[in-house]
Chain A
Amino acid sequence: MNRTTHVLLRGLAEARLALLASLRSFQEMFATVMFVAGFTVGLSFMRGGTVDGTGVDSATASLPGVLGLSVVFVGVVATAMMLATEREDGTLLRAKALPDGMAVYLIGKVVYAAALVLATVLLLVVPGLFLFDGLAAGLATGWPQLLWVLLLGMVASIPAGAVLGALFDNPRLVNAVGMVPVFGITMVSGVFFPITALPGWIQTVAQVFPVYWIGLGLRSALLPDSMLSAEIGESWRHLETAGVLGAWAVAGMVLAPWLLRRMARRVSGANVEKARQKAMQRV
């Protein structure tokens, strides 16, 4: 077995074990279930209503936006938090002490994050198939589109999360500095109401970030063309979707390895010890 194969296999094993560990963690499971259940219940309240002049169920029409939000929240925020936390608690230091440990760790985290995104999407879509009218029909024809948008969405968000996690030393800072913009951007990205209802300059800002485009791509996959009247330019803009998400993916994949290497270089026992002392003081 050559070294690349070894590292890849260990990375997959790391992801599998980390997922098993998460399944064992009441805290993590509780957070995921609340996140998913909250949105599913929220969407259920919209059931029965239809989007004006289209006959499309309101809940079904909103689901793609929620999926887009989930991809970005899990891909960016959860990844960033995970990196910042595990750097502080000594997980990364352990990886650094092992041969090929950092490479295995990072592959493991990317696979773990991707699995987490997919699990969240499945937990939202599968109940939706039974609860929301028209979703099954949309999925029947739109699944290839759904797959590529999801995949590109993950490739755009997970490196962005890694960059954010590598930049901030302090998990609480990631929470404060990372969450607020992501939340703000999400608010204006057409998740909770059509983007065309917002002022022009806000529309422009929203279109810089992946949330809007993942939502748009997923709407094009799951909703009929009669919904186009609520979109900018009354078009699904596939090319632009691929372009913006692709640009984020490329930027992330150029920046992330460099920042992660820098971060890995700075991991030391003294830093972990400092964080531990601080945490003790807080307690």
Chain B
Amino acid sequence: MALTDGASASTAASPHSGPAIDVRDLRMRYGDNDVLKGVDLTADPGEVLVLLGPNGAGKTTTVEILEGFRVRSAGEVSVLGADPAVGGEAWRARLGVVLQSWRDHGNWRVRELLAHFAAHYAPYSTAGRPRPRDVDALLETVGLAGHARAKVSSLSGGQRRRLDVAVGIVGRPELLFLDEPTAGFDPQARRDFHDLVHRLTDEEGTTILLTTHDLDEAEKLADRILILADGRIVAEGSADELARRVGSGSEVRWVQDGQRFVHAAPDGTAFVRELLEQHGDAVTDLEVRRASLEDAYMEMVARHESGRTADAARALEGLEGLEGITR
């Protein structure tokens, strides 16, 4: 089912040109504690950016500064062409935030709540992006049409998260923030959500910044992944690039004379060539797996946690053919 009832991707372009998010040397300090130590990041319109990092790395702080919920200590931040600290209501109307609901509005009915929130956006409707979305169609999209009259407190955890997502996109945002959106989703709900994200970017050109602990999700959704560790972006690139950068080569599996073999090789291709030259037809069920994003991430976090973050960042920077690593 299409999300676009009136808006098309061509007319949905944001009114300002340039990146949707542009952050330079962002710093945040609480008392004596530096949480962000100079974060640089940009997101182009329509891009899906995934922010990864261990707990306490500063992900939530970064996102909250961009959302205008928190005032930064230093640095330059531009979100949809405005400084979030002084964004104003018209700017706010162009953002969507998916919050982790807890027990707010428990006695409200689902449709009632969504329709009330939707009505906030009416004065900020534009020709290219009619606001708000049709509430009933949206409930259908997130799979809550059958619960329109249910009390919010009666929803299951997964259903509440779907409502959170609906609230986040009801204003047809140009930029959407998602903080661990699929925590508590079952596999079906997760797949539905991923489809929804793809539709948002494809059909409406929505820019998305997402934080998650689910590396599989990051790999599926991200145009670009940023790894935040100890208040800095320590690596940046597509899932593939990151895996190639940090991963220790490939894992090769094959069957030979009825026996199963597994071998870790720094250069998978070279190993396979040699293997086939030596054993030829005796080798069957050959499988070459490149180091995954998970391997890359675990390696980054391991280096970070053993207190060698700076080394890790330097080591990464030193690798050939890489771009976009920021300190």
- Using a CB–CB distance below 8 Å, which chain A residues touch chain B? 1, 3, 6, 10, 13-14, 17, 20-22, 24-25, 28, 86, 89-91, 93-94, 96-101, 104, 265, 267-270, 272-273, 276
* Residues of chain A within 8 A of B166, CB atoms compared: none
- CB nearest neighbor in B for A21: B107
* 25 sample A-B contacts, Cβ–Cβ < 8 Å, listed by A number: A6-B122, A10-B120, A17-B108, A20-B112, A21-B108, A90-B104, A93-B69, A94-B101, A94-B104, A94-B117, A97-B92, A97-B99, A98-B117, A98-B120, A99-B93, A99-B123, A99-B124, A100-B120, A101-B92, A265-B71, A268-B70, A269-B64, A269-B100, A269-B179, A270-B70
* Residues of chain B within 8 A of A86, CB atoms compared: 104
Q: Residue B97 at the A interface, CB < 8 A?
A: yes
Q: Residue B67 at the A interface, CB < 8 A?
A: yes
Q: Residue B103 at the A interface, CB < 8 A?
A: yes
B105 lies within 8 A of A99 (CB): no
- CB nearest neighbor in B for A100: B89
Q: Residue B90 at the A interface, CB < 8 A?
A: yes
Q: How far is the CA of A101 from the CA of B171 in the complex (A)?
A: 13
A91 lies within 8 A of B104 (CB): yes
* Residues of chain A within 8 A of B95, CB atoms compared: 97
* 10 closest cross-chain pairs (CB), A and B: A21-B107, A99-B93, A91-B104, A97-B97, A90-B104, A98-B120, A99-B89, A99-B92, A25-B107, A268-B69
* Residues of chain B within 8 A of A20, CB atoms compared: 112
B104 lies within 8 A of A273 (CB): no
Q: Residue B116 at the A interface, CB < 8 A?
A: yes
Q: A269-B64, A269-B99, A270-B60 are in contact. Are A17 and B112 (CB under 8 A)?
A: yes
Task: Give 19 new A-B contacts, CB below 8 A, not counting A90-B101, A99-B124, A265-B71.
Answer: A14-B116, A21-B107, A89-B102, A91-B105, A93-B99, A94-B101, A94-B104, A94-B167, A97-B67, A97-B92, A98-B117, A98-B120, A98-B121, A99-B92, A101-B92, A268-B70, A269-B60, A269-B179, A273-B60
Q: Residue B74 at the A interface, CB < 8 A?
A: no
B105 lies within 8 A of A94 (CB): yes
Chain B: number of interface residues, binned into ranges: 35 or more
* Residues of chain B within 8 A of A17, CB atoms compared: 108, 112-113, 116
* Residues of chain B within 8 A of A10, CB atoms compared: 116, 119-120
Q: How far is the CA of A13 from the CA of B119 in the complex (A)?
A: 10
Q: How far is the CA of A89 from the CA of B108 in the complex (A)?
A: 14
Cβ-neighbour of A6 out of B64, B103, B112, B123 (below 8 A): B123
Q: Mark B49-62, 1 if CB is under 8 A from A, else 0.
A: 00000000000110
B120 lies within 8 A of A99 (CB): yes
* Residues of chain B within 8 A of A104, CB atoms compared: 120
Q: How far is the CA of A20 from the CA of B95 in the complex (A)?
A: 29
Q: Residue B151 at the A interface, CB < 8 A?
A: yes
Cβ-neighbour of A270 out of B64, B105, B122 (below 8 A): B64
B104 lies within 8 A of A89 (CB): yes
Contact residues of B between 63 and 77, Cβ < 8 Å to A: 64, 67, 69-71
- CB nearest neighbor in B for A18: B108
- CB nearest neighbor in B for A16: B116
Could you say which of A90, A91, A97, A272 has the most chain B C-beta atoms within 10 Å of its C-beta? A97
* Residues of chain A within 8 A of B113, CB atoms compared: 17
Q: How far is the CA of A66 from the CA of B251 in the complex (A)?
A: 79
Looking at the assembled complex, report how far the CB atom of B87 sits from the nearest CB atom of chain A, in whole angstroms: 10
Q: How far is the CA of A40 from the CA of B183 in the complex (A)?
A: 50
A272 lies within 8 A of B121 (CB): no
B104 lies within 8 A of A13 (CB): no
Q: How far is the CA of A265 from the CA of B87 in the complex (A)?
A: 13
Q: How far is the CA of A6 from the CA of B89 in the complex (A)?
A: 13
Looking at the assembled complex, report how far the CB atom of A251 sits from the nearest CB atom of chain B, in whole angstroms: 28
* Residues of chain A within 8 A of B93, CB atoms compared: 99
Q: How far is the CA of A265 from the CA of B68 in the complex (A)?
A: 9
Q: How far is the CA of A91 from the CA of B105 in the complex (A)?
A: 7
Cβ-neighbour of B171 out of A21, A99, A265 (below 8 A): A99
* Residues of chain B within 8 A of A90, CB atoms compared: 99-104
B64 lies within 8 A of A3 (CB): no
- CB nearest neighbor in A for B88: A99
Q: A90-B99, A265-B71, A268-B70 are in contact. Are A101 and B107 (CB under 8 A)?
A: no
Looking at the assembled complex, report how far the CB atom of B113 sits from the nearest CB atom of chain A, in whole angstroms: 8
A24 lies within 8 A of B105 (CB): no
- CB nearest neighbor in B for A2: B123
